[in-house]
Structure 1
C-alpha cells in the first residue's frame, strides 16, 4: 500500500513538474470562472452539478471553454511568454548599455582644463570661506540663542517660583475668604436672630405701650374718682365741722345751764342731742 502511494506521489510530481499542466489548470479556472464561483457558493451539491451541466452542454461550449481557450493560453504561457520575456530583458540591457556609453562619452567630453580647475578651486575656496563665515555667524546666533534660552529658563524658573508662591498665597486667601464667609454667614444668622428678637421686643413694646395707654386711662379714671372722693370728703368734712360746731355750741350751752341755778333739767338738755344722733 505504501509503495502504491509513493508511486502515485512520484507520478503526480513528475506530471506537475511539466509547466504545461499547471498552466492549463490555471487557464481553465480563469476561462471557466463561473464554475469556480458556483463551487464556492452555499448551494446544494445537486444544484452545483446541474449548473455545471447547463454551463458545459451548450453549443460548442465544452470545446471552446473547456479545451481550446485554456490550451491556447497555456501554450502561449509556456512557449511564447519566455521568448517575449527574454526579448524584453535583451532590450532593457541594450538601453542600459546605451545609456552607460552616453554617460561615459559625456564625461570624456567634459574634462576640465588646468585654468578651469584653478578657477573652480578658487570658486570652491571662496564658497568654502563664505560657508565657514555663514557657519560662524550661525554659530554665534546659536550661542546667543542658547544664552537667551538659558536666561529664559532662569526666568521661567523664577516665574515658576512666583507662581508657586502666588498659588500658596491664593490658597491662604481662599482659606481666609472661606473663614470670612463663614463669619459672614454666622453674622447673618446672628442678625436674623437679633432681628427676630428686636421684632419680638417691638411687639412687646407695642403691647407695653398699649398697656400703658390702658393704665393711663385707668389712672385718669381713678384720678377722676379720687377727685370725686375728695369733693365728697370735703363736703363730709364741712358737714362734720358744722356738726362739730353745733355740738360745741350745745355743749357750751349745757355747761352754762348747769352753772345757772334752777336751770334746765338734764333731760331737756339732752333731748336735742338725741335728735341729732
Structure 2
C-alpha cells in the first residue's frame, strides 16, 4: 500500500529538499520531527478542517434571508469538499469506501438520537432525512477521513494487535449501546473497561520523518477523542447542532462527552481495519524511539 497519493508524493519530494538538510541528531533534529508531525496531522485533518471552516463561516456571514437554506448550503458544501478531495487526488477511492461507511453509520445514529431528543438541529432545509440535515453524516465522514489518512501517512504498525473478530464484537456492542441505553441500563462503563482490556497490550508504531516512534494505542484513542471534543465545541458554537442544555444559550460541551468519543474510536478503528488490515511492525525498521 502506498503511503502517499500522487499529489502528496509531490509535496513530500518538495519538503525533503529542505528537510534533508536537517541534522540527524540533537535539538534541531527533534524539532524537525515535531514540525513534520504537526504538518502531517494537519494534512490528515484537511476534510474536517474544511468542514469546520464552512460551519464557522456560515455561522458568521450566511444571510438569514438567503433563498437557499443554510442547512442545504452546508450539505452542498460538504459534497463539494468530498468531490474536490477525490478529484484533486488528496484522497484515494479506497479511502472513500471507508468514508461512505462512516457516513451511513453516523447518519443512522443521528436519525435515532435526534428522535429521542439527545440533540437537535435548527433551521429549515430540504436535504434531510427524518429531520436530520444530510451534512451531519459528513461530520462522521470527517473522522473516517482523518483515520484512514493517518493510517497511511504515518505508516502505522501495531504490536500485539487483538484479533479483529474480538474488536468487531466490542465495536458492535458499543454501537448498539448508543441506542439501547435509552431503554435499558447504560453499559458504557463496562464497554470502556472492555476496550481497555482488549487494547491494553497494543503498542502503535508510526513514522514521522526519519524516525519511528511507539505509543500505547489507548493513548492515541484518548488524544483523538480530545481533538474531536474540541471540534465538537466549535461545531455546536456554529449552530451545526445543539444539545438540550445549549438550546437557550451556547456553552462548552461537557467533558463527559469524551467517554462517548473514546468509545467511538473503537467503532472507527474497526471500520478502518476492515479496509486496511492492521500490520505488524517491520522487523528491519531502524531509528525506533519510545514515547509515552
| TM-score normalised to structure 1 length | 0.12
Higher strand share: 2
Higher helix share: 1
Bigger radius of gyration among the two: 1
| TM-score normalised to structure 2 length | 0.12
Report which structure shows greater RCO (CA 8 Å, sep ≥6): 2
